[in-house]
Amino acid sequence: MSGNGTGKLSIDRIKLSLDNQLILNDISFDLNTNDNTDSITIIGRSGAGKSALLKCILGIYYPFSGSIKFNNQPILKRNKEIFFNKLGMVFQNSALFDSLSVWENVGFKYLYGPNKMPKKNVKKLAEEKLERVGLSIRSANQFPIELSGGMQKRAAIARAIITEPKILFFDEPTAGLDPITARKINYLIKDLISDSKASALTITHDINTVNTIADRVFLMNEGKFVWIGCRKNMKTSSDEYIKDFLNTE
Amino acid sequence: MKLLIYLIKIIQKLGRKAEYFCVSIGQILKISLVSLSEALTPPFYAEPFLKQLISVGFNSLPVVGVTALFTGAALALQIFSGGSRFNAETVVPSIVAIGMTRELGPVLCGLIVAGRLSSSIAAEIGSMKVTEQLDALKSLSVSPIRYLVTPRLASSVICLPILTLISDIIGILGGLVIGITSLQFSLLVYTEYTIKFLEMSDIYSGLIKSVAFGIIISLSGCYFGFTSKGGAAGVGKSTTSAVIAASMLILASNYLLTAFMFQK
């Protein structure tokens, strides 16, 4: 599964333990991050280890064995900077900063990150991105608490795409949204991935998200991938885990 | 046999507590050192720092001022009442001044600001942690310590001595008002006695203490915020723990600093 080479995020046999419990067990996969867009969706029940995997890649959790490499180099120091410059992440509950306005949230990376820009330019850019994700300029000066769940999600997506990243991570992008808003968010993500030619890694348990944006699907159970395949093969698969997941959904 | 199992359980519990204590000390030291190193190297975040200066300094002024005013006034009454037992009523101005500058000014100011600030820092960072905002900071290439801890630490270290100085002045004024209105001192005599016996070292010692209290208050809030777990209830616990830890450490460090500076 894992391989070497550039333009790749390579996860190789990682194992993670939290509070003496094995959360991830021997997880390996590659995400192509060059011009050929690659959209992986990791599905599974709550507590399967999906979000923990994402946090390992972000360097929030440290696996006790295995490696996570970007462009064939561990994600450390200079390579970490390069990786994070190419990354945009949307968190499960949007994770917008309460004390900042919506435009400051969207432009945060340019206001406080390593590639700072003048405030005026950041605001203009943030407003452009807000329009791109379907939010009005009026919402730019509001605070996150004043937005609905769907609008917060859109603002979080705008924050993730402000640097036009080549890698996008989505953690449960439709969690807590009504079906109509969830559908709109799914199509928005699909458009963004194809427009920006970015690769995406999406964590979800929403089958509609899988059907809309996934190229490859990894089913996770108890910290392991138990099924890997194309989205199209899911419905015809005789795998018990996949059947179980599709029936539950 | 049962006794042996019981003893082993007690030793295990003690071991776990000791481990938790050592880990906590290590984490506080780590936060302090990283924060200090990031405070001295760019990028510097001016806006969060200015916001904290207002929050720590300006917004604490009313409560610190009122506390100092009434403490100074009460102190004057107590010293007058106690001093009159051995005909030493004239020591009221000097004892109020020395008491406020050396002890009550810095300690009360520290405790009041700890109640306001440690809790608010722990609650803010704790809720950021449980809503993944700290993870979001990392994903945006911004160090949570540089963005959250350094401005709070720097503003506390700057504001606490200023607040203490203001507290000293207001406390002495509180004593003066009571001295003139209730204790038959004239303005001239009270002022003369205050200035005559007050030394600069009294003021400096209080200000040195307040710097230490500023560090304790901000780091305590940040540490308990960063180690919050388990949603709103966890944030509530962290908030309480931050205030208790900061208050205890202020009182303990006050004794140690007093012993260090004044014991001959």
* β-bridge pairing A216-221 and A39-44: parallel
Q: Which residues contact A164 (CB under 8 A, 6 or more apart)?
A: A196
Cα angle for residues A28, A32, A37 (degrees, 5° grid):
135
The mean per-residue pLDDT over the stretch B149-172 comes to 95
What pLDDT shows up at residue B115?
Answer: 94
**In A33-82, at which residue ranges do the beta strands (DSSP E only) sit?**
39-44, 65-70, 73-74
Contacts of B50 in chain A (CB under 8 A): none
Q: Which of B245, B264, B19, B262 is nearest to B118 (CA)?
A: B245
Please give the helix or strand (H or E) that residue A220 lies within, else none. Answer: strand A216-221
Picking from B45, B124, B135, the nearest residue to A58 by CB comes out as B135
What pLDDT shows up at residue A249?
Answer: 56
Contacts of B136 in chain A (CB under 8 A): 89, 91, 95-97
The mean per-residue pLDDT over the stretch B206-214 comes to 96
Q: How far is B128 from chain A (nearest CA, A)?
A: 8
Distances (CA, A) of A86 to A50, A79, A115, A200: 21, 11, 12, 12
Distance CA A108, CA A128 (A): 14
Nearest CA in chain A to B46: A112
Least confident range of A149-158, B22-31, B169-178: B22-31
In this complex, do B132 and A89 lie within 8 Å of one another by their Cβ atoms? no
Distance CA B194, CA B96 (A): 8
In this complex, do A60 and B135 lie within 8 Å of one another by their Cβ atoms? yes
Residues in chain A: 249
Contacts of B133 in chain A (CB under 8 A): 95-98
What pLDDT shows up at residue A16?
Answer: 94
What pLDDT shows up at residue B93?
Answer: 94
Helical ranges in A35-132 per DSSP H: 50-57, 77-85, 102-106, 108-112, 119-132
Distance CA A176, CA A178 (A): 7
Report ipTM for this prediction. Answer: 0.87
Partner A contacted by B128 (CB < 8 A): yes
The 10s digit of each residue's pLDDT in B229-248 is 888 899 999 999 999 999 99
What pLDDT shows up at residue A158?
Answer: 95
Q: How far is A244 from chain B (nearest CA, A)?
A: 30
Q: What is the mean pLDDT of chain B?
A: 92
Distance CA A234, CA A81 (A): 37
Q: How far is B62 from chain A (nearest CA, A)?
A: 24
Test the B interface: residue of A112, A163, A168 with most B CBs within 10 Å: A112
Test the A interface: residue of B140, B226, B235 with most A CBs within 10 Å: B140
Q: How far is A146 from chain B (nearest CA, A)?
A: 17
In this complex, do A58 and B140 lie within 8 Å of one another by their Cβ atoms? no
Q: Label residues B167-196 b or e (16+ Cβ within 10 Å = b).
A: bbbbbbbbbbebbbeebebeeeebbebbee
Amino acid in position A114? P
Distance CA B254, CA B108 (A): 11
Asked whether the beta carbons of B93 and B100 are under 8 A apart, the reply is: no
The 10s digit of each residue's pLDDT in B46-74 is 899 999 999 999 999 999 999 999 999 99
B94 or A233: whose pLDDT is higher?
B94
Flag whether pLDDT at B170 surpasses 90.
yes
Cα angle for residues A108, A113, A118 (degrees, 5° grid):
70
Distance CA A86, CA A80 (A): 10
Asked whether the beta carbons of B130 and B225 are under 8 A apart, the reply is: no
Least confident range of A42-51, A154-163, B117-126, B129-138: A42-51
In this complex, do B45 and A116 lie within 8 Å of one another by their Cβ atoms? no
* β-bridge pairing A65-70 and A8-18: antiparallel
What pLDDT shows up at residue A109?
Answer: 93
Picking from B45, B124, B128, the nearest residue to A112 by CB comes out as B45
Backbone angles phi, psi at B143, to 5 degrees: -70, 125
Q: Which residues contact A186 (CB under 8 A, 6 or more apart)?
A: A173, A174, A206, A208, A209, A212, A213
* Beta-carbon pairs below 8 A across chains A and B: 54
B26 or B186: whose pLDDT is higher?
B186
Please give the helix or strand (H or E) that residue A180 lies within, else none. Answer: helix A179-196
Asked whether the beta carbons of A49 and A225 are under 8 A apart, the reply is: no
Amino acid in position A212? T
What is the secondary structure of chain B as a DSSP string? -HHHHHHHHHHHHHHHHHHHHHHHHHHHHHHHHHHHHHHHSSPP-HHHHHHHHHHHTGGGHHHHHHHHHHHHHHHHHHHHHHHGGGT-GGGHHHHHHHHIIIIIHHHHHHHHHIIIIIHHHHHHHHHHHHTTHHHHHHHTT--HIIIIIHHHHHHHHHHHHHHHHHHHHHHHHHHHHHHHHTS---HHHHHHHHHHH--HHHHHHHHHHHHHHHHHHHHHHHHHHHT--SHHHHHHHHHHHHHHHHHHHHHHHHHHHHHHHH--
In this complex, do A91 and B140 lie within 8 Å of one another by their Cβ atoms? no
Picking from A84, A92, A169, the nearest residue to B141 by CB comes out as A84
Contacts of A109 in chain B (CB under 8 A): 140-142
Asked whether the beta carbons of A41 and A186 are under 8 A apart, the reply is: no
Flag whether pLDDT at B264 surpasses 70.
no
Nearest CA in chain B to A97: B133
The 10s digit of each residue's pLDDT in B143-159 is 898 999 999 999 999 99
Give pLDDT < 50 ranges for chain A.
1-5
Q: How far is A58 from chain B (nearest CA, A)?
A: 7
In this complex, do A114 and B141 lie within 8 Å of one another by their Cβ atoms? yes
* β-bridge pairing A199-204 and A216-221: unpaired
What pLDDT shows up at residue A1?
Answer: 42
Please give the helix or strand (H or E) that residue A207 lies within, else none. Answer: helix A207-213
Partner A contacted by B142 (CB < 8 A): yes
Q: Which residues contact A25 (CB under 8 A, 6 or more apart)?
A: A15, A222, A223, A224
Picking from A84, A93, A113, the nearest residue to B131 by CB comes out as A93
Q: Which of A21, A24, A81 is nearest to A203 (CA)?
A: A24
Task: Tell me what percent of chain A is helix, strand and coil, each rounded to the nearest 5.
Answer: 40, 25, 35
Q: Label residues A127-147 b or e (16+ Cβ within 10 Å = b).
A: bebbebbebeeebbebbbeeb
Nearest CA in chain A to B129: A95
